[in-house]
Amino acid sequence: MAGRLRVARTIPSLRRSVELYRHAGDRVALVPTMGALHRGHMALVREARRRAKRVVVSIFVNPTQFAPHEDFASYPRTFATDVKVLREAGVNLVWAPSVGAMYPDGFATRIAPEGAAKVGLEDRFRPHFFGGVATVVAKLFTQVAPDIALFGQKDYQQLRVITQMAKDLDLPLKVIGVPTVREPDGLALSSRNVYLSTAERAVAPILQRVLKECAARINGGEEIAKVLEVGRIEVDLAGFALDYLEARHALTLTPITSQKDGPVRLLVAARLGKTRLIDNIGV
């Protein structure tokens, strides 16, 4: 499967490669990442290869989505290993700009998403986050000009924000959400899982277990508010510092009190030691 893989570090180099794909009439897929690739990312790559002739993977640790107290400096960076894995997976092009290439001197434009970006979930704890994500993803979309872009459903609020942004800005591509990849014990794969101690790693899968139990009880007809109240207690008792456990409309992410109000998505975020974990499940 391994083949020739190009690494582009400047906009002109990126666009020359993409123009060759376009000239050949090839469909182009983009998989945006911050590197430190794991099996979840590779599931996105496999789906991209299934849907398009050419696959571009971006690797860029985006500083504008990190708050000053967050882990930008220590975020895992494994570029050489990532490129090797992507070459073996049949990826055609890696877009790996520097911070200066992405945000040159004088850069002065930001996207300020609303809708799903302002519903009191991640935005309540990371108010800077979605503006940084929306800006960098909009740039990636215009730089690569893909036919499709693939994102994991683990970052569900992010997926909804990006899907809405592409629609609102009339961007000529389709945003595709790919199901979360998990460890055998249910823990959602994340580059930040490397921060978990051995003891914390043993506890971490409880988040997914609580989500599944809540979903089953809601499907069984129990009242959503009571189910979530019990779920929050279980997360607390397991040793997490809970940020939220919420039931939301699966498309708008607005609060929901009954399954009759529309498709339900359960979303959770909690800290275990110094590591913040998020997860979600459809009901």
What rounded mean pLDDT belongs to the chain?
96
What pLDDT shows up at residue 3?
61
What pLDDT shows up at residue 71?
85
CB contact burial 193-203 (16+ within 10 A = b; e otherwise): bebbeeebbeb
Q: Whole-angstrom distance between the N-terminal and C-terminal Cα of the chain?
A: 38
Return the closest-CA partner of residue 268 out of 162, 186, 183: 186
What pLDDT shows up at residue 74?
86
Q: Would you call 106 exposed, middle or buried from its count of C-beta atoms within 10 A (0-12, 13-18, 19+)? A: exposed
pLDDT digits (tens, 9 = 90+) for 33-74: 999 999 999 999 999 999 999 999 999 999 999 988 888 988
What pLDDT shows up at residue 220?
96
Element (H, E) at 211: helix 206-219
Q: From the candidates 23, 41, 69, 249, give the one annotated as an active-site residue.
A: 41
How confident is the model over 154-160, as a mean pLDDT? Answer: 98
Task: Inform me whether the pLDDT recorded for 194 exceeds 70.
Answer: yes
Name every residue whose Cβ is closer than 8 Å to that of residue 98 and which is 6 or more positions away in sequence. Answer: 9
Confidence of residue 204 (pLDDT cuts 50, 70, 90): very high
How confident is the model over 142-153, as a mean pLDDT? Answer: 98
Are the C-beta atoms of 268 and 280 separated by less than 8 Å? Answer: yes
How much is the pTM? 0.95
**Cα 273 to Cα 129: distance, rounded to the nearest angstrom:** 21
The HSE-up count of residue 86 (CA atoms within 13 Å, CB side) is 33
Task: Inform me whether the pLDDT recorded for 2 exceeds 90.
Answer: no
Q: Which of 7-16, 30-39, 65-74, 256-265 has the lowest mean pLDDT?
A: 65-74
Instruction: Judge whether 41 counts as a catalytic residue.
Output: yes
Name every residue whose Cβ is closer than 8 Å to that of residue 61 and which is 6 or more positions away in sequence. Answer: 34, 35, 72, 75, 77
Are the C-beta atoms of 248 and 265 separated by less than 8 Å? Answer: yes
